[in-house]
Structure 1
Amino acid sequence: MSTKVEKRILVNVPVSTAYNQWTQFEEFPHFMGGVKSVTQLSDDRLEWVAEIGGVRRQWEAKILEQVPDRKVAWAATEGATNAGVVEFEDIGGGQTSIQLTLEYEPEGLIEKVGDKLNVVDRQAEADLKRFKEFIEDEGYASGAWRGTVNPGATFGTPGVEDAAASRGDSGKAGVSGKV
């Protein structure tokens, strides 16, 4: 059974600054707790390694839709089953509303217990707060990718059914005693 997490945060930077920073995927470990690395394989493919609660997970994700200053939608193609979207809304006055919607399938006992304790929900909220601090402290994005992926596509909010090809990693990434 999948779990859906929805979080929203207001950041005090223009929408282009927030979006541009978000597209610097390889910098996610700077503000996302538990994310060990993100490797951009191509314009629309990312490899992730994360460790939350001592459980190490690895997956590859495909960006399904990316529209500058609007959204980035993805679904896992192998490894840990997850999908979602980050949407950016210019609310004026140099402020941006960021909406994160994430759906994932917890695997194994540790993840299922963590799911019941809302670990990922709290992690997502903390990650957005760290992103806010990160981008507001800098005041500018460290880079930008203004290209599009599947322009005009209407994927809406992808769910785990869009990540069905990933079928989880059945714990193959293992449990690590190191945090």
Structure 2
Amino acid sequence: MSQVEESIEVDVPVRTAYNQWTQFESFPHFMEGVERIEQRTDRMTHWVTKFGGVEREFEAEITEQIPDERVAWTTLGGDVKQAGVVTFHRLDDAKCKVMLQLDYEPEGLKENVGDKLGFVKRQITGDLKRFKEFIEDRGRETGSWRGEV
């Protein structure tokens, strides 16, 4: 099992950053390799990804969701094995820190080599930077879900 932990400061209130993160179907706008996400229920999402020419589809369950604090998930079945949590930390009224922690199991030679070379860490760093640009440029979230899991 490999682990990545990355964070970024975002110039929006913690509520705005959290609200945007709950809009899973918007992830392809800032996450490279994410082709599509469908939110099927409050707890279930269906992902379609494509990295290095390899397309995968998998289900992910939201295991914990606390407004303005955290969203945790784990994949279910299939060949994609990962679990993670994103937490939101208020820095002041107009700024917050978004921290992402991911545990994942590389599959096959190509993914294991990419893992050892730090590709996943760089991917997550880039995704967080694109999230920052996406939400700061908009200045507001595209929607929100304030329920708890």
Mapped contact 1:67–1:148 kept (Cα < 8 A): yes
Q: Secondary structure at the match of 2:77?
A: strand
Q: Secondary structure at the match of 1:42?
A: coil
Q: Secondary structure at the match of 2:27?
A: helix
Q: Which residue of 2 aligns with 1:66?
A: 65
Q: Which moved more, 1:129-138 or 1:108-117?
A: 108-117
Query: Please, what TM-score do these two structures have when normalized by structure 2?
Result: 0.97
1:99-139 alpha-carbon deviations (Å, 9 max, x no partner): 00001101111111111111111000000000000000000
Q: Which residue of 1 aligns with 2:126?
A: 126
Q: Which runs of 4+ in 1 moved over 4 A?
A: none
Q: Comparing both structures, which one devotes a greater share of its residues to strand? A: 2
Q: Which residue of 1 aligns with 2:87?
A: 87
User: Which amino acid letter does the alignment assign opposite residue 16 of structure 1?
Assistant: R
Compute the displacement of 1:56 (Å): 1.9
Q: Which residue of 1 aligns with 2:22?
A: 23
Q: Which residue of 2 aligns with 1:12?
A: 11
In the alignment of these two chains, the number of paired residues is 148
User: Which amino acid letter does the alignment assign opposite residue 104 of structure 1?
Assistant: Y
Q: Secondary structure at the match of 2:40?
A: strand
**Residue 139 (1) aligns with residue 139 (2):** yes
Mapped contact 1:55–1:110 kept (Cα < 8 A): no
Structure 2: where are the runs of 5+ without partners? Answer: none
Q: Which residue of 2 aligns with 1:157?
A: none
Q: Which residue of 1 aligns with 2:74?
A: 75
Q: Distance in 2 between matches of 1:97 and 1:115?
A: 25
The alignment's C-alpha RMSD in Å is: 0.8
Q: Which residue of 1 aligns with 2:47?
A: 48
Bigger Rg, which one: 1
Structure 1: where are the runs of 5+ without partners? Answer: 150-179
Identity %: 55
Compute the displacement of 1:55 (Å): 2.2
